[in-house]
Structures are given as structure tokens and as C-alpha cells.
Amino acid sequence: MTWRANLQFASFRGVPFHVLSHEASIGRRNVVHQYPFKDDPYIEDLGLDTDEFTIEGYVIANEENDYDYFSQRNNLITALKQAGPGALKHPYLGEKYVSLVGKARIREMFNEGGIARFTMTFMVTSDAIFPKESIDTSGAVDKASEKLIDTALDSFYEQYDMEDAPAFSLAGMIDDFDSYVSFAKNKVSAMRNASGSSLSYVKSTFDDAREVMLEVVRYPCQVGALVFDCVDSILEVANIVGSGYLGQILGQCSGQIISSRLSSIGDKVNETLGQSMVLSMLGIVGVNDVTGFGTAFNASSGGGSLTTINVSTHSTARQAANRLAFINMTKAMYLAGSVRAAIRSEYRSLSDVEKIKAQIINSIDYMIEKLGDESASDPYKNYGIYVDNRNIYSDIENLRSEFAKAIKQKFINLPYEVEEEISPEGTTILHLAYGKYLDISRDEEVFKRNQPTLKHPGFVLDNVRMLSE
């Protein structure tokens, strides 16, 4: 194989570019000591020096980028500006985990056209040897989650009004709760790695809530407590229980429920259980107006359905407003539960973290948009009934910020996913596992990571995704 065939395509943080030339500085940290009247110096060896690379690279308009080099140039600029170290694929030296040193220089000339030249200096990164500030990432997320739950409960108390409600309104709310239970049980059934007894306990909690609802339908705090117990039963499967506000009275409903919460909190959840738990709860929240509980009216595919309320009187407007308050309170609680599970779940790589993070952020952004639109339109104001989502809206925004910071901080040192190029002759998963990790037992991990595109472990022709270590 020629030297050209051994070269790799260059990229930084996954953004490709071409390399014109490179220089590398390597060596040891030697300090020269010279003494008076001594002809020979003393060389003190302080260990290996940090490897440093200076690359003269470029992006150019060609068929691969549809002759639009601006987008590729801007992507590389964004990657170079991003905080923290990243993966550099060096055509001569292979894959390195590096940080940009100083500023990259960019040069574009009118007489060349269609090309941007970059001069970039990178330094190989290693873990810090001195202690760093320790941040309680789970605690920060718990605090933001609990605040959202408290606000959702108290907002529900303010907006849920069953006083002197007609029989059809009471029956409608019971039907809505029944639909919620059916829908949620369907989603929870998708949890993996949970014991049969744990799932039975969760489902029995939902069934008990359905029965109790018949007696407490008029009372917002009791209705909120039933949903709270359902969410808690799911989290208890992974020993995630407790409250940072134990015994503190915050509001009409939140104080009553908080005072009875448990105080033990698990901090690590099996990867399969944790991530499937997150996705199950997000399935109840949804990501748009045709997913999640309470958004797809008259659609029973998820296990429950909500009948359309024709708003024409004050009583039917009140019924619709009660339903809306119940839906928003329920979604907020499951959203809070999902982030508590996500921050405690185990992950194999940064890409796995990013997938879960993206799905949670999508649900959060959907809820922010939904709550904002409802407050702006105020659909029942003609009947003297007003929708006020301001507090929930604010606490979901806060949850978004705290979760994004915490999950980045907690999992920043995980290995990242890279794409390994396969020679035209092809190879096997066993060869890849041994070549990358010197461990053939990781062949199954590599095979699963490349599903469903990789068809057979003994015949690999296309590039595969592998962890950096």
C-alpha cells in the first residue's frame, strides 16, 4: 500500500477540510542549568513535552459541497470557536484529542476565489492533574426539576375549578384521567431492563390512581398528587426518589405533597433502563402537537383518547380549561422526571449523551412554545376564563438551562464517536475491535453501534462508527 493510500481525510470536530502541509513539534521538557566556572551544563529532564501541530489547511468549492465552500468554511470556524477539546483527524498522524492554541488564521484572496485557507495550531490534550471544582450536577437538575413540579402543582390549583361543576364536566374529567392512565401505561411498557415486579408495581400505581380519581376529581391537590405518585413510581424503579425541598411549604398543593416525600436518592442508573425510562416519559410529554398525551384528540393509537369538547357555554369552556390545566401539569411532571433520569443514566459515549439531550431539549422547546402560544391566545377569555402559564413557562426555561449545563459537565470526559474508514478490500468487526482497542470482546459493541446499516460482522465494506477509546 502506498503512502498516499495510508493518509486519512482531515477533520476537526467532524468538519472536513484539506491539508496542504503540517509541522509538528515534539520532545521533552529539558531545562538547562549552567553554573559559574563549570564548563558542562546540567540538563534537568522534567518529562515529556506536549505535542503541538501546526496545519496549513483549506476548504474549497467542489462537487462534495455543491461548489458552496462558504457553508463548509463557516462550519469549520464554528468548530474552532467551540469551547473545550475536540477530535482532530490528522492525515499523517491519525486521530488526536486536541485543543486549539491561540487563534486560527483565515485567508481568502479575490484572485484565487472559491477557497479559504486556514492556519491552525493544536496541542494534544490530557486530563488535568490538579483537582477541579466539583459540581453536584444531579443536585442542580433535581432542584430545577422540583421547582417545576411545585410550580406545576400550584398553577394547577389556581386554574382547575370543579366547584359546582355539572355532572358532564365531572364525568369528562374522569374520562380524561382514564385516558391519561391508558396512554402512560402504554409508554411505560417500553422501559427495558426493569424487573417484572417493578413494572407491575408501576402499573398497579396507575391503576390505583384511576380508582382514587373517582373520589377526588373535585380537588386539584389530590388530582395532582395522583399524577405525582405515578411519576414517582417510575423513578423508583431506578431508586430515583426524594426531594431537595423536604418539609418546606411552598404553595397550596406543593407543600402538601412535598412534606411526605422520601429522602434517599440514587445517583447511577443502568444505561438501558435509564435511557428507555427517559424516552418513555418523553413519550408522554411529546415534541409537537400530534405527539404526547392530550395533544392528539380522538386518536387512540397511543392507548388512550380524548374526545373533543365543543366550547359553546361557560360550563364547556370551564371543562376545556380544566382539561388544558391537567394536560400541562401532567406534561410538566413527566418532563421533570425525564431529566432526573437522564442525568443519572450511564452512557457509553458523548454521542449517546447528545442523542438523549437532543430529545429532551426538543420536548422542552415544544413545551415552551405550547405554553407561550396558549397564554398569548387565551382561548377561553370570552367566557371570563383566563389561561396563565407564566410560572410554568419560566421554570421550564430554567430547567432547560440547568439541564444543559449539568449534562455537559457530568459527561464531558466520556469517549466520543469517530468514523473509521474501511479499505476497499473490506474487513471484519473482529479485526476492527482488535485494531482499535486490542480487545476482540468489543466486537459486539461495534456491531450494535452500526445498526441497522451494518448487515454482517464478517463482511465490512463501508465506514463504521467506533468509540475513541
Task: Give the 3-state secondary structure of 164-180.
Answer: CCCHHHHHHHHHHHHHH
Task: Check whether residue 345 and residue 458 sit in a common domain.
Answer: no
Mark which of 124, 153, 178 sits at the end of a domain.
124
Question: 158 near 213, Cβ under 8 Å?
Answer: no
The residue with cell 496542504 is 20
pLDDT at 259: 44
Task: Check whether residue 392 and residue 448 sit in a common domain.
Answer: no
Mark which of 377, 410, 443 sits at the end of a domain.
410
Read off φ and ψ for residue 347, nearest 5 degrees. -135, 150
pTM above 0.75, yes or no: no
Sign of CA dihedral 362, 366, 368, 369: positive
Task: Check whether residue 168 and residue 271 sit in a common domain.
Answer: yes
Query: pLDDT means per 10 residues in the chain (469 residues)?
Result: 69 89 89 82 84 92 83 90 86 87 92 91 71 66 92 93 93 94 91 89 94 95 93 91 43 57 61 93 87 61 70 94 94 95 90 91 94 90 90 94 89 79 84 81 86 85 80
Per-residue pLDDT of 44-53, as tens digits, reads 888 888 889 8
Nearest to 468 by CA among 351, 353, 358: 351
Residue 200's CB: how many other CB atoms inside 10 A? 11
Q: Does 130 reside within a domain?
A: no
Give dist(CA 198, CA 233) in Å, integer.
Answer: 9
Task: Check whether residue 76 and residue 150 sit in a common domain.
Answer: no
Read off φ and ψ for residue 402, nearest 5 degrees. -65, -40
Per-residue pLDDT of 160-200, as tens digits, reads 999 899 999 999 999 999 999 999 999 999 899 888 889 99
Q: Domains in the chain: how many in total?
A: 3
Task: Check whether residue 287 and residue 332 sit in a common domain.
Answer: yes
Q: Does 260 reside within a domain?
A: yes
Work out whether strand 10-12 and strand 15-25 pair parallel, antiparallel, or are unpaired.
Answer: antiparallel
Nearest to 427 by CA among 414, 417, 416, 436: 436
Task: Check whether residue 119 and residue 244 sit in a common domain.
Answer: no
Nearest to 238 by CA among 266, 196, 205, 212: 266
Per-residue pLDDT of 296-331, as tens digits, reads 444 344 445 688 899 999 999 999 999 999 999 999
Q: Does 131 reside within a domain?
A: no
Give dist(CA 155, CA 358) in Å, integer.
Answer: 27
pLDDT at 301: 43
pLDDT at 263: 42
Q: What Rg, from alpha-carbon coordinates, does the chain have?
A: 28
Task: Check whether residue 185 and residue 44 sit in a common domain.
Answer: no
